[in-house]
Structure 1
Amino acid sequence: SVEASRPALGKAKQNGLNIVTFDGAGDYLTGPAVLPAGQRAFTFVAVWQPHTNGGAQSIVEQAETPMRSGTRAALLAVGGAYGFNGESNDCHTLVPFQPNAWRLTCLEVNDADPQNVAISDNGTPYVGVTQKPGALKLGTSGLAVGRKLATDGEYLQGDLAEILIYDRALPREKQQKMLWYLDRKWGLDCLGWLQSPDGRALVFDFEGETYGDWKAEGEAFGPGPARGTLPGQMPVTGFLGKGLVNSFHNGDGATGKLTSPPFVLERKYLSFLIGGGKNPGDTCMNLLVDGKAVRTATGPNDKPGGSEQLDWQQWDVSDLAGKTGTFQIVDRATGGWGHINADHLIQTDRRLPVLIDQTRELTAEKRYLNLPVKNGAAKRLMRVLLEGAVEREFEIELADAEPDWWAFMDLAPLKGKALTLQVERLPDDSKALELVEQGDTIKGAEDLYREKLRPQFHFTTRRGWNNDPNGLVFYDGEYHLFYQHNPYGINWGNMHWGHAVSKDLLHWEELPWALYPDKLGPMFSGSAVVDWNNTAGMQTGDQPAMFCIYTAAGNPAVQCIAASNDRGRTWTKYEKNPVLPHLVGGNRDPKVIWYAPEKKWVMALFLDGNTYALFSSPDLKQWERLCAVEVPDTSECPEFFEIALDGNKQDTRWVFYGGNGHYLVGRFDGKTFTPESGPHPLHHGNCFYASQTFTDIPPEDGRRLLIAWGTVGMPGMPFNQMMSFPVELTLRTTPEGPRLFVVPAREVEKLHGRAHTWKDAALKEGDNLLAGVTGDLFDLRADITLGDAQQVGFVVRGTPVTYDVPHQTLSCRGSSATLKPVNGTVRLQLLVDRTSLEVFGNGGAAYLPRGVIPPEANKSLEVFTKGGSATVNSLEVYELQSAWGVAGGG
């Protein structure tokens, strides 16, 4: 039984039956858990109507409190899509939805299925997979309806009619019967499109294990619907649910035919998803009436390359009303693209827009071209043409009507030019190109840097996606940060090099994008250097040229260079690129440094697997292989640098690491890197990848400064991901050998605002010295003598940071690191931003960067001890100012 935790719930009716209305602010229900602990297969059914598609909304969930990774099972909506949330094991943006319409939802989670999440949404199937299939550890602290169980947040704003929970994955037939019963009970007509009034099916969806009443001939179609991509096939996308017709069984050489049972043509249109080869008569789908083909369709591909994506097509069959028809799917072809894919054959009275190529002419008169984006819309290929030649080309989820947000393209390089905008396969009723507009500002950016989930002292790009930092270099008073960037979407793709500069590592100014995709491929990761000695011979003025060294990730991936003679404001790609041809696999991510003893450049390059290599060059153009480097348990994104041991510049070591930060410590003689220890973990968090360190830091500074990709999502925002806060690395002697220590760059102190300090304070269980301190941005520093406490730590806006005294471990939300006390004392530093919590222990001996999005309403801090008393030798809590100048920071 579920009891109301907040009794003031509004009531309404649907089909004469009571429903519950949730206000999105304080209404929710709680009760005991109904599924056993660790349950690995279950089904949630919900009859619900959201009133908004903004923010995060939990419809129903069972979970553990406090929550740990994998212990939550929630039907969760986030920013216009919904799905499953398993707490760091999620698939919660699976189904797009619009508000103020009833949804009949069946969520099935089954870790025995490779696609372990399946949702039926008003009869349309969707499937997905969580980040860690098989990692479900369902908790049993309780059940919540209309809110997150563990914390005060994710309130549902909408109506709820009924919830059913099953301790198993329901067989398809039982699931369908149950959904039809609920549809009729609540008077929804959510499923009416699936069958005619007399019960005849209007949809062939290929979700069963076999083809049922369909007749298969030959080998091409296999024994039943394919579960997606077949062996040897490019990834198949665009189908609905788990199954589809796919005639690639045994490759393109197989042939066959698949014929449906007869059906009566009852609606005006036949809609269907189709893909594969464009071979009329040989790879096609036909509609037969009286044994004759009266309609036919093919996939889009008739030349090498292409895509296995299915897309909608439609036939107008209004002139055939009442006749009996048969689908015939044919594969007679045996060469390239000799197969056909199809799914979801639907009778409907709803006309689908015809997909056509559309163009628009304009003259570049203003700074930006603002482009409307609808998250989750079909990706369209868009080109910007100048005198018929392609200047820009990218994929974008164009909004056909009202956008979720606006992307932009910098028109400055094209100012005054007559341009043609070209988009492939837009719906004929789309207003996307009409919505595109020029402006001297970014459209929709009135609240830029004030967005709810915008980090306030970590770098984030204004719009779109960022991942790896690239080309960290200091030159002429500026720190340069290049980064992997998709300007046109909030997910990975369209890889450009974004570019920003800062004079203090805090306040960043975005410059025009440095590198655009070209004929050699998208712009993958790399590095940047200053050619102080003009070794490349490409300096044009009095100041040295800067160089970006990058991977052009075409087929195959190659290494290239680009030069700037104006402090990085504009870039010219080397006309004889690539400077290093393809070697093996996905070779990529060149990190280049200057090796002064031999006056040459040295490049670290990822090759394949766990293998990297070092190369040398006198001029950045001609490269010679030096040696291979093996780094177990890591790949891609190499970093290679020299660093003093214990600050002694006469006693140095070299550090080599890959994407996850697992590093080797060794020596380098200009030809061979010889590891002496490692790999060792640089960090113990979940919000750190592909880090780089700055080159050309002035000798009077001398720090080894690092920035990583902060891998944390920002749901519902027009930007996604961030950079970690800059940190300083030092190499220190420890009883285990030389190890890297990590501390925040001292520049954070420039953001310090109001301070709260304590000294020599006794801390007993139940005490909280920080009870009066609230905010969302902090630099927190503590020195604690452990006494007889079993645990000491902090709770930051609901997130515990705990030092376990007997086990000598520092932990935060499932991440932990060994940390030995020094003379019975531990020192902790915490940097708190809106989407992250970075924890440093004992002057950098432990580093735990965590992506955390705390409840918006929880601004509290707590310092605690458990199992005994401790002494707070010093505690300093600094409220931080926003680096963006946003009022209210802290």
Structure 2
Amino acid sequence: MKRSLVRWFAVTSVALTLGLPGLQAAELEKNQTLIADFEGTTYGDWQITGDAFGTQPAAGTLPGQMDVSGFAGKGLVNSFRGGDKTTGTLTSPSFTIERPFLNFLIGGGGYKDETCMNLIVDGKVVRTATGPNRRPGGTERLQPVHWNIESLKGKQAKLQIVDNRTGGWGHINVDDIWQSETCRGISSDEIFQQPNMQTFPSYGDVGYDQTYRPQFHFTSLKNWLNDPNGMVYFDGEYHLFFQHNPHDTVWGNMTWGHAVSPDMVHWKQLPHAILPYEEGTIFSGTAVVDHNNSLGVQQGDTKTLVAAFTFARSPFYQAIAYSTDRGRTFQLWNEGKAVVENQGYDAGERDPKIFWHEASQKWVMVLWVKQGQPGRVLFFQSDDLKSWKEVSQFDRDWVFECMDLVELPLDGNPNDKRWVLYDASFEYETGKFDGQRFLTDERVLRGDYGPNFYAAQTFNDSPDDRTVIMGWMRGENVPFRRERMPFHQQMSFPQTMELKSTADGVKLFRWPIDEIKKLYQKQVTLDNTIIAEANEALKDFSADLLDISIAFEAKADTTLTVDLRGQAITYRNGMLHYQNATMPAPVIDGQVQVRMLVDRASVELFVNGGEFVATFNAEIDPQNLSVHLGGSEKAAISKLEVHQLGSAWK
């Protein structure tokens, strides 16, 4: 275990662990005494009851558990073995209290006497602490906590870690226990003090000028961001709501953050829109403009914005909120009670997509309810946005959360439209939808070839017949964490979606919105050149934000590498290679076309007009601002355009 306490040696006044023989007292900080850090292969002399803790410390996350973070080293106490149904205790050997504070890391369930760590003196519990979570939407991140134990100096004590709960959040995580002269983290009494999620005055001291802050991809001014929500255009503004933790840079406390933009490039963040209530949190959903006043709450001439969301308290259900002031404030409809009850397929049924279906003159809701073989999506109809009737089911193995359904013309023909249904991982099918049933040829296609495009959504009520999509660029952003950025996670750059006929059938094409040109600064444009000539023209080109397009002749032996600030994107054998991913780059009329967007922590690739797209988080050296080509010496480049971009935040 992590140098877990086995016995104490008065001669050194420092805890040593039999599991690590030869450990010298000088290796420990002078003002601290280690009790346990759970780095070994056993719990040592700690006594185990039940089956929740197993026989040894856990190496992080256990099967079926959300990602556990915030612990020190490689191991911790984690009672999720077998899930929340297991119970037990883990009790330390006796030790002497000799310093004024006990510091530790704790996470998991927040239930007194059920998921907790107790300090026991003379057979009585004299201090106790629980994890921070009592409801869905919490995070498995351990947080630093302390007890003041100065009044107990000289007494013999034991620690007992307890898991007596079998329901939701029925587990406890503990790590890195020290006696210390100074306190660390919050006191155990502060664990359940809620953050101020109504406003964010502390965000005012954060700008967009950090070294790794994306400059044309949306990020929250501060704290965690994930799924885009409620994307809608209304009264001259694009609204982007998003899953947001107002309290930390990790997932949790799910709230709808909010930003608006006139052009989907320049964003202004507003106060949080929809807030947790009644021991639940606010998961993903969509928003519409209630043009017909279906909900019946319109005030004056200003149309109502209606947001449908998942209320995350087991079992999940679907609720709505509305705004009569252009999205600046929202009110819960019927106190946030269900407009669609949990349907009984899964406790986590979630992410309602709602829209107006003109042909049937009905509101439609698309809802994921089950993962598996098959998974299931339900379709509902409504006249008033508050009473919904199930009208059909759609079963596929591939469906899972964050469904979207959107109508697009085929090859730009407004008289030949198809519908596209896709899920969070961006697998999709095309077909026909009559307001009740979605019928397809069951041909499942892949929408993105990178690892970081997830939970995408399109804007409802777009003003110009474009369908524009944005996704959450999921995954750990290494430089954000390492450099302690005040925010975490980012959105993809907005892209149009079009359906086009290809030799392989109807496919979805994505392409960066034209508004990116508002950010264009200096550029290099070359026609009919080769690599050596292109590099000569680019030798003095320096930029950290890039939009680059290249079209080149591709033969069987052609290789071409575009090195963008140290990020090598390579073409060979009909494929594009970047990081550990590959994506198709077929030759069309003797050529391959590639477009590349590079921000401070991302790379997005578009092949052959957007037939193939790949989205990546990237760790990019901020000092490397070069652009360079390599590969087949005489590879013929028919067109090269290199654009430096300015910041969207300036």
- Range class of TM-score, shorter chain: 0.7 to 0.9
CA contact (8 A) 1:773 1:860 kept: yes
Deviation at 1:327, TM superposition (A): 4.3
CA contact (8 A) 1:272 1:313 kept: yes
User: Residue 653 in 1 paired to residue 411 in 2?
Assistant: no
User: Residue 803 in 1 paired to residue 571 in 2?
Assistant: yes
Q: Counterpart of 1:595? A: 357
Supply the AA of the counterpart residue of 1:636.
E
Deviation at 1:740, TM superposition (A): 0.3
Deviation at 1:611, TM superposition (A): 2.2
User: Residue 355 in 1 paired to residue 177 in 2?
Assistant: no
Q: Please provide the CA RMSD for this pair.
A: 4.3
Q: Counterpart of 2:318? A: 559
User: Residue 517 in 1 paired to residue 291 in 2?
Assistant: no
CA contact (8 A) 2:40 2:57 kept: no
Q: Counterpart of 1:572? A: 331
Q: Counterpart of 1:876? A: 641
Out of 351, 354, 367, the position equivalent to 1:605 is 367
Which deviates more from structure 2 when the two are superposed, residues 248-257 or residues 651-660? Answer: 248-257
Q: Counterpart of 2:553? A: 785
Q: Could you report, residue by residue, the CA deviation over 1:764-801 in whole angstroms, capped at 9, with x for unpaired residues?
A: 69966522211111221222123575211311000111
Q: Counterpart of 1:450? A: 209
Supply the AA of the counterpart residue of 2:410.
L
Deviation at 1:863, TM superposition (A): 2.1
Q: Map 1:747-786 to 2 at 5 A.
A: 747-763=515-531, 769-786=537-554
CA contact (8 A) 2:4 2:35 kept: no
Q: Counterpart of 2:626? A: 860
Q: Counterpart of 2:454? A: 689
Deviation at 1:676, TM superposition (A): 1.4
Which deviates more from structure 2 when the two are superposed, residues 588-597 or residues 785-794? Answer: 785-794
CA contact (8 A) 2:117 2:159 kept: no
Deviation at 1:556, TM superposition (A): 2.3
Question: Gaps (5+ residues) in structure 2?
Answer: 6-16
Out of 626, 638, 649, the position equivalent to 2:391 is 626
Aligned partner of residue 843 in structure 1, secondary structure: helix
Question: Gaps (5+ residues) in structure 1?
Answer: 1-117, 126-171, 196-201, 359-379, 384-391, 395-408, 412-438, 886-890
Q: Map 1:505-544 to 2 at 5 A.
A: 505-519=264-278, 521-544=280-303
Deviation at 1:872, TM superposition (A): 1.4
1:766–1:253 Cα change, 3 Å: closer
Which deviates more from structure 2 when the two are superposed, residues 586-595 or residues 480-489? Answer: 480-489
Q: TM-score, normalised by structure 1?
A: 0.61
Aligned partner of residue 480 in structure 1, secondary structure: strand
Q: Could you report, residue by residue, the CA deviation over 1:322-367 in whole angstroms, capped at 9, with x for unpaired residues?
A: xxx5748699999999999987776666678993757xxxxxxxxx
Out of 376, 381, 386, the position equivalent to 2:192 is 381
Q: Counterpart of 1:704? A: 467
1:710–1:649 Cα change, 3 Å: same
Deviation at 1:750, TM superposition (A): 2.0
Supply the AA of the counterpart residue of 1:640.
L
Count of residues in Structure 1 that have an aligned counterpart in Structure 2? 615
Q: Could you report, residue by residue, the CA deviation over 1:352-387 in whole angstroms, capped at 9, with x for unpaired residues?
A: 8993757xxxxxxxxxxxxxxxxxxxxx4334xxxx
Out of 546, 557, 564, the position equivalent to 2:305 is 546
Mapped to 2, the partners of 1:588 and 1:625 lie a distance apart of 15
Mapped to 2, the partners of 1:345 and 1:618 lie a distance apart of 58
Q: Could you report, residue by residue, the CA deviation over 1:425-467 in whole angstroms, capped at 9, with x for unpaired residues?
A: xxxxxxxxxxxxxx7x85533xx22221122122222222211
Supply the AA of the counterpart residue of 1:680.
L
Mapped to 2, the partners of 1:500 and 1:233 lie a distance apart of 32
Mapped to 2, the partners of 1:234 and 1:787 lie a distance apart of 47
Mapped to 2, the partners of 1:255 and 1:553 lie a distance apart of 28
Mapped to 1, the partners of 2:64 and 2:526 lie a distance apart of 65
Aligned partner of residue 747 in structure 1, secondary structure: helix
Q: Counterpart of 1:267? A: 98
Q: Map 1:166-205 to 2 at 5 A.
A: 176-177=20-21, 180=24, 189-190=27-28, 203=35
Out of 466, 488, 496, the position equivalent to 1:720 is 488
1:677–1:732 Cα change, 3 Å: farther
Deviation at 1:513, TM superposition (A): 2.0
Q: Could you report, residue by residue, the CA deviation over 1:274-296 in whole angstroms, capped at 9, with x for unpaired residues?
A: 9997569x9966445xxxx4x64
Mapped to 1, the partners of 2:165 and 2:545 lie a distance apart of 63
CA contact (8 A) 1:220 1:250 kept: no
Supply the AA of the counterpart residue of 2:588.
V
Q: Counterpart of 2:405? A: 640
CA contact (8 A) 1:631 1:657 kept: no
Aligned partner of residue 610 in structure 2, secondary structure: coil
Supply the AA of the counterpart residue of 1:592.
I
User: Residue 484 in 1 paired to residue 243 in 2?
Assistant: yes
CA contact (8 A) 1:789 1:869 kept: no
Q: Counterpart of 1:745? A: 513
Deviation at 1:588, TM superposition (A): 0.9
User: Residue 839 in 1 paired to residue 619 in 2?
Assistant: no
Mapped to 1, the partners of 2:220 and 2:205 lie a distance apart of 15
Identity among equivalent pairs (%): 33
Deviation at 1:686, TM superposition (A): 2.5
Deviation at 1:729, TM superposition (A): 0.9
Q: Could you report, residue by residue, the CA deviation over 1:829-852 in whole angstroms, capped at 9, with x for unpaired residues?
A: 112211112111111111122212
1:393–1:607 Cα change, 3 Å: farther
Mapped to 1, the partners of 2:159 and 2:641 lie a distance apart of 74
Supply the AA of the counterpart residue of 2:310.
T
Aligned partner of residue 409 in structure 2, secondary structure: strand
Mapped to 2, the partners of 1:235 and 1:729 lie a distance apart of 33
Mapped to 2, the partners of 1:818 and 1:305 lie a distance apart of 46
1:212–1:710 Cα change, 3 Å: closer
Supply the AA of the counterpart residue of 1:583.
Q
Higher relative contact order (CA 8 A, sep 6+): 2
1:344–1:794 Cα change, 3 Å: closer
CA contact (8 A) 2:43 2:57 kept: no
1:621–1:646 Cα change, 3 Å: same
1:871–1:547 Cα change, 3 Å: same
Q: Could you report, residue by residue, the CA deviation over 1:511-569 in whole angstroms, capped at 9, with x for unpaired residues?
A: 22221111262111111111111222221212322211111112221111122222222
CA contact (8 A) 1:285 1:330 kept: no
CA contact (8 A) 1:769 1:862 kept: no
Supply the AA of the counterpart residue of 1:456.
Q
Q: TM-score, normalised by structure 2?
A: 0.82
CA contact (8 A) 2:98 2:153 kept: no
Q: Could you report, residue by residue, the CA deviation over 1:465-488 in whole angstroms, capped at 9, with x for unpaired residues?
A: 211111121222222211112222
CA contact (8 A) 1:256 1:332 kept: yes
Out of 459, 474, 477, the position equivalent to 2:218 is 459
Out of 56, 59, 75, the position equivalent to 1:242 is 75
Supply the AA of the counterpart residue of 1:781.
S
Q: Map 1:725-740 to 2 at 5 A.
A: 725-740=493-508
Mapped to 1, the partners of 2:608 and 2:62 lie a distance apart of 52
Q: Map 1:88-237 to 2 at 5 A.
A: 176-177=20-21, 180=24, 189-190=27-28, 203=35, 212-213=44-45, 224-225=55-56, 227=58
Mapped to 1, the partners of 2:579 and 2:53 lie a distance apart of 46
Supply the AA of the counterpart residue of 1:381.
F
Supply the AA of the counterpart residue of 1:615.
F
Mapped to 2, the partners of 1:468 and 1:878 lie a distance apart of 29
Q: Counterpart of 1:581? A: 341
